[in-house]
Structure 1
Amino acid sequence: MPRTRPALTGGLLLGRVMHRRLQPPRPAFHYRTFSICFDLDALPLLQKVLSRLSPLRFYNRDHGPRDGSALLPWIQGCFAEQQIPASRYVLVTYPRLWGYVFNPVSFWLGLDENDQIRGVLAEVNNTFGEHHSYLLAHADRRIIGQGDWLTADKAFHVSPFLPVEGQYRFRFRLQEQSFHADIHYLDAAGEPCLLTQIAGNRQPLSLPKVWRAVLQQPFMTFSVVFFIHWQALKLWRAHIPFHKKPEPPQQEISL
């Protein structure tokens, strides 16, 4: 009997992002977003939907090696090099909207033949035009369960109000109609400093659905950048310690 893949292999994710700073305590803030989620094998179908009649676009050059080359061989190589047993890959990311994109983080989910998560590449961008990725998997390469936490040492400057030290811990939940990610930043002493939640409910990826989402949030990607800088201004006015941006890590992927 043929295997049925989860419906989340392609779709429009309508959701929200939440940030809450714990040290020093600051009020949580939320904003609505929409993103795309698709199986890399289905990229040609995605491009048909995001045609000239769509305000959204997806370009290979916005991800991976950023040279416009095919993304599937690149992500396959990343996972194979670390012996993570994935047979297909689902990407959750913001598309270009009106020609512009900024992705604070994109997730490459590596699934096995039973559609279980075996590894995740978290591709992070900062507002200084730099990028870095964290490749996450259990040491024994077992299945990543919904309640499992994965950790990575922080190696990349994202916010001037957080130092490049400590750890991230990640948790993922991939279901047929939804996607959820928790990202916690822990300081050098292991204390949680910043909590982030990213969640989305899947809608069919069709041109009418795309336009409906865009008409509800016509400047979504611009607003993401606005919220980042608005919160930074509030932290600066609250006299939160400021950290100078260091040089980015020479290694593009942290393990």
Structure 2
Amino acid sequence: MGVTAVAPPDVPALYECVITHVRTRPVRNAFTHRTYMWLIDPDRPPRLPAPLRPFARFDARDHFGGRQPTVRAALETWLAARGVDLRGGPVRMLTHARVLGHVFNPLTLYWCHTPDGALACVVAEVHNTYGERHAYLLRTDGAGAASVAKDFHVSPFFPVDGAYRMRLPEPDAALRLTVHLEREETWPFTATVRGERRPGTAPFLLRAALRHPWSTAAVSAGIRRHGIRLLLRGLPVLRRPVHRSQEGFE
């Protein structure tokens, strides 16, 4: 496995975020959640004072197959199975950290660069509430946009069909992400993440943790709460297909 040749100059960073989910079909539903996310170099995760480490752990078992010694090694194994070699180029990873022993990452993003700093690809790693994981390889355009067929079960109310249309520009002072689910020439679901950059330092982590206590548990609880709301409104639950692990998740 390669080693990052040049560390991204703007990490670690925190983004205090507003995450919005809007469903338009077959019933309309929307919710907004406030949280915070980390932008890190997976080769060099943040070094925090001992009292704050339970609030920000970055563990290789939480990503891809969970069996590689580091997140970077897992990413490179997955990319190699798809013919992509970063040749040691830098990676920026947007994710939730493990907080007080708990983590749930609906979406982790990796902006993968060649050694000269050019963007080679974006990897979108998706986790569902059943404990399953899947990743998409994206070739984004100059605006950070890409499309990919949906082939992983996420919501119990949508079948595994259609496509995702994503806009994933690399974070800078602001975080601006958009994911549309496209089915039958409509967009029945849209998720957005909007955030503002803060230094990834102990004082800002402490402030974020106080504003959003046990943030990862709150994310997973919020998703389940709104799922129950949709169920009570009569939306049928679809049968979950068997998930087969992707090559590179070993």
Normalising TM by the smaller chain, what interval?
0.7 to 0.9
1:46-125 aligned at under 5 Å gives the runs 46=46, 48-49=47-48, 51-54=50-53, 55-84=55-84, 86=86, 87-113=89-115, 115-125=117-127
C-alpha distance in structure 2 between counterparts of 1:93 and 1:50, whole Å? 20
Query: How far has the Cα of 1:83 moved from its partner?
Result: 4.8
Which of 241, 244, 247 in structure 1 is aligned with 2:239?
A: 244
Higher mean C-alpha deviation, range 14-23 or range 170-179: 170-179
The corresponding residue for 1:206 is: 201
C-alpha distance in structure 2 between counterparts of 1:73 and 1:180, whole Å? 27
Report the TM-score when normalising by structure 2.
0.86
Paired letter, 1:14 = E
For the residue of structure 1 that corresponds to 2:168, the secondary structure is: strand
Identity among equivalent pairs (%)? 29
User: CA separation of 1:73/1:225 partners in 2, compared to 1, >3 Å: closer, same or farther?
Assistant: closer
C-alpha distance in structure 1 between counterparts of 2:248 and 2:76, whole Å? 14
User: CA separation of 1:91/1:224 partners in 2, compared to 1, >3 Å: closer, same or farther?
Assistant: same
For the residue of structure 2 that corresponds to 1:74, the secondary structure is: helix
The corresponding residue for 1:141 is: none
User: CA separation of 1:215/1:76 partners in 2, compared to 1, >3 Å: closer, same or farther?
Assistant: same
Stretches of structure 1 that go unaligned for 5 or more consecutive residues are 139-143
The corresponding residue for 1:35 is: 37
> Does the aligned pair in 2 maintain the 1:37–1:92 contact within 8 Å?
yes
How many aligned positions are there?
241
C-alpha distance in structure 1 between counterparts of 2:7 and 2:240, whole Å? 47
The corresponding residue for 2:220 is: 225
Higher mean C-alpha deviation, range 211-220 or range 74-83: 74-83
Paired letter, 1:53 = L
The question of 1:180 aligning with 2:183 is answered no
Cα-to-partner distance string for 1:18-66 (whole Å, 9 max, x where unaligned)? 10012135242111011111122322xx1x2264433221111111330
User: CA separation of 1:51/1:170 partners in 2, compared to 1, >3 Å: closer, same or farther?
Assistant: farther
C-alpha distance in structure 1 between counterparts of 2:84 and 2:245, whole Å? 23
User: CA separation of 1:50/1:196 partners in 2, compared to 1, >3 Å: closer, same or farther?
Assistant: farther
Stretches of structure 2 that go unaligned for 5 or more consecutive residues are 1-5
Report the TM-score when normalising by structure 1.
0.85
For the residue of structure 1 that corresponds to 2:185, the secondary structure is: coil
Cα-to-partner distance string for 1:160-179 (whole Å, 9 max, x where unaligned)? 11111111111112243222
